[in-house]
Structure 1
Amino acid sequence: MTPPAPGLVRPATQEDVPAAVRTLAGAFADYPYTRHVVAADGHEERVRRLQELFLTRIAMPYGRVWVGGEGRAVAVWTTPEKDPTPGFAEVGPLIAELAGDRAAAYEAAEAAVEPHRPQEPVWMLGAVAVDPEAQGQGLGAAVIRPGLAAADLAGQACYLETATGRNVRLYERLGFRTTVELPGVDGGPRVWCMRREPGAGA
């Protein structure tokens, strides 16, 4: 497999938002965790709006976002460079509204994971998505690597959470290691918390 040319991956701009939201919404519509914590009624539109909120109100103003393949691959980070607390406070009520009748499940899932999240500043990989037609080209790993390199440069660890075993294998190849594997809460999916120390490979 030939890796994508480096020029395909770059920091996202406002012009990339529509394509990035489409990619993220498509990837997370049937994601096990999202299915558990977002209402089934109008599910795809709810997921699209949640991804748009996180991208435009949290990640772009307070974190870092890289796109590849003209928005067909997206990696969304929050970082220690800016405190995203104001953004999360702003969108919190909107997230609860979009979760709909699964709001209690969302709160329970968050409560189960929260004790296992790092207490020190880390780069958190909040979302990664690749359009199905662009999969198998190495874009997923390629769009993640700039964030890993930036975290390495800052001497800071990276952290993520995933609800699929297939993703675990991808992240292990990038230097992440599972810190805890949590059983599903109230019928929800299993969640892997993963951490990557600075310079761990990728």
Structure 2
Amino acid sequence: MNHSIRTATSHDLPAAARTLSVAFADYPWTRWTIPDDDYAHRLEELQSLYLSHAIEHGLVLVDAHGRGAVAVLPSSAPPLADDLQRQVRELHGDRLEALLAADLPAHPMPSWELATLGVRPEARGAGLGSALVDAVVAEVGRLDPGCTIALETSDDRNVRLYEGRGFFVTAHTSTADGPAVHSMQRTLPATS
């Protein structure tokens, strides 16, 4: 199937945040790190904050039909601004301590972080997730040939998706009372 994927702008942010919040509704990591109280709203707000940072300092791609989105950030991107950090802390509420205690391995330096990728449930199984991965890998490879792209996932189905796109598992991390996290990466060719 042919998918129409393009670079997002700030105008795409609300729809992309909604798409990602629907895509992550039952995701183990977000279920563990976001309180149940008003979970859907918190999740959409967090996605919006992270996407706005990625649009400014990295790259966000969206499906032209609003069914999927992906965001990457270079390791040179600044941390979230203080106001955004405050909002993130508030949205994580009483789960913030667990989130901060997760001891995930550092990404290789320098690298790009595939920070989020989501596809609406009704659009899954048609190759859109793979198309989003391929599109973001191609664009990052054009911007930064020879770089490494790193990510984490808490869903075994995602591991298979990323392995099918050339990524490999570099670590498995257990959390105290939450999901296991798979760290993955892929080094791109030095020439695009």
TM over 0.5: yes
User: Is 1:151–1:157's contact at 8 Å kept on the other side of the alignment?
Assistant: no
User: Is 2:108–2:148's contact at 8 Å kept on the other side of the alignment?
Assistant: no
Give the percent of matched residue pairs that are identical in Structure 1 and Structure 2.
38
Aligned residue pairs, count: 188
User: Is 1:19–1:72's contact at 8 Å kept on the other side of the alignment?
Assistant: no
User: Is 1:23–1:130's contact at 8 Å kept on the other side of the alignment?
Assistant: yes
Q: Which among 39, 51, 66 is matched to residue 61 of structure 2? A: 66
**SS across alignment from 1:30:** coil
Question: For 1:175 and 1:89, how far apart are their aligned partners in 2?
Answer: 36
**SS across alignment from 2:69:** strand
Deviations 1:153-177 (A, max 9, x none): 3220100000011100000011100
Q: How does 1:1-202 map to 2 (within 5 A)?
A: 3-5=1-3, 8-56=4-52, 58-80=53-75, 83-85=77-79, 87-109=80-102, 112-113=103-104, 116-153=105-142, 154=144, 155-183=146-174, 185-199=175-189
Hey, which of these two has a bigger chunk of helix by percent?
1
User: Is 1:160–1:194's contact at 8 Å kept on the other side of the alignment?
Assistant: yes
Question: For 1:41 and 1:118, how far apart are their aligned partners in 2?
Answer: 32
**SS across alignment from 1:147:** helix
Question: For 1:166 and 1:119, how far apart are their aligned partners in 2?
Answer: 24
* TM-score normalised by the chain length of structure 2: 0.91
Letter in 2 for 1:192: H
Gap runs ≥5 in structure 2: none
Cα RMSD after superposing both structures: 1.7
Cα separation, partners in 2 of 1:124 and 1:50, compared to 1, 3 Å: same
Gap runs ≥5 in structure 1: none
**Deviating 4+ runs (over 4 angstroms):** none
User: Is 1:74–1:143's contact at 8 Å kept on the other side of the alignment?
Assistant: yes
